[in-house]
Copies of this chain bind each other. A is one copy, B any other.
Amino acid sequence: MRVCLIGAGNLATQLGMALSEKGHHIVQVWSRTAQSATNLSSKLNCPSTTDLSALVSEADIYIVAVSDKAIEAILAKHSWGNALVVHTSGSTPMDILSRYCTNFGVFYPFQTFTIAKKVVFDEVPICIEANTPQNLEILTNLAQSISRNIKLIDSGQRQQIHLAAVFACNFVNHFYAIGEALLQEKGIEFDILKPLILETAAKAVAQSPGNSQTGPASRNDQDIMNKHLALLENHPDLKALYETISERIIHTIK
């Protein structure tokens, strides 16, 4: 397919590269800043623009992969005619597109993206939704060209999936960072935590995390929890967090 990529951030970069590798033709990249537009267009070997009125008209699909708050402003600044337009957001309903486009949908790759780390899309769930069966078929084909894992997900479900991801990915990463900082305090390298982080994730994937909680709170081991709270004496915020989450775990296990 001929793809016009609107956005040049983490997701646009990884998605653009994956589509390009699978033989799709990225016909143009738009970004708000010339620097990021050029960065991505040079990777994808295609033209770029920072001017929405200069968007090409011959693309089969326009993928709006920008931050949620920028989506509507971009939609409003261009006449889309009959073009198929999708956004890639977890938390923005599909309906927002109906005000500006005739053919539209959502193409939400459910993964964490950074520009520097290449994502292998094969197993990434692509959550799709469209305003007509025909558009859904086009999105299904596009999604299947980069992943084996296609999900038909409506806007309500997609919001909940995004919320679940904040807990299971963003907050998890913050807790890795807390572990990293606690080790640093005592001059211990973060490396020592890596096998544990990988095994914890592998275990969650192999069996339900709700049924495989381990640690002092899951055993209601007050002695160890008190020792840990004493170690956190100089970190009142972490101490409060430790207490709150331990209470939740104790309550859940019971």
Contact for A170 among B125, B156, B168, B213, CB less than 8 A: B213
Q: Which residues of chain A from 119 to 143 have a CB within 8 Å of any chain B CB?
A: 119, 123-125, 127
- For A123, A183, A193, which residue has the most chain B Cβ atoms within 10 angstroms? A193
Interchain CB contact under 8 A, A196 and B110: yes
Describe A's contact surface by its main secondary structure: helix
- Interface assignment of A194: CB less than 8 Å from any CB of chain B: yes
With a cutoff of 8 Å between Cβ atoms, the chain B residues found around residue A22 in the complex are: none
With a cutoff of 8 Å between Cβ atoms, the chain B residues found around residue A249 in the complex are: 170, 174
Interchain CB contact under 8 A, A241 and B242: no
Q: Which residues of chain A from 184 to 206 have a CB within 8 Å of any chain B CB?
A: 185-188, 190, 192-206
Q: Which residues of chain A from 214 to 240 have a CB within 8 Å of any chain B CB?
A: 214-219, 221, 223-224, 227-228, 231-232, 237, 240
With a cutoff of 8 Å between Cβ atoms, the chain B residues found around residue A69 in the complex are: 221, 223
Interchain CB contact under 8 A, A192 and B110: yes
- Interface assignment of A176: CB less than 8 Å from any CB of chain B: yes
Contact for A216 among B170, B175, B248, CB less than 8 A: B170
**A69 CA to B206 CA, complexed, in Å:** 30
Contact for A214 among B160, B170, B213, CB less than 8 A: B170
Given A170-B214, A182-B164, is A205 in contact with B194 using a C-beta cutoff of 8 Å? Answer: yes
With a cutoff of 8 Å between Cβ atoms, the chain B residues found around residue A210 in the complex are: 177, 180-181
Interchain CB contact under 8 A, A177 and B228: no
Q: Which partner residue on chain B sits nearest A122 by CB separation?
A: B195
Interchain CB contact under 8 A, A160 and B173: no
- For A117, A170, A190, which residue has the most chain B Cβ atoms within 10 angstroms? A170
With a cutoff of 8 Å between Cβ atoms, the chain B residues found around residue A162 in the complex are: 224, 228
Contact for A160 among B10, B186, B206, B207, CB less than 8 A: B186
With a cutoff of 8 Å between Cβ atoms, the chain B residues found around residue A52 in the complex are: none
- Interface assignment of A47: CB less than 8 Å from any CB of chain B: no
Interchain CB contact under 8 A, B176 and A163: no
**A208 CA to B153 CA, complexed, in Å:** 33
Contact for A166 among B113, B124, B159, B228, CB less than 8 A: B228
Q: Which partner residue on chain B sits nearest A173 by CB separation?
A: B209
Given A114-B214, A204-B176, A223-B68, is A123 in contact with B195 using a C-beta cutoff of 8 Å? Answer: yes
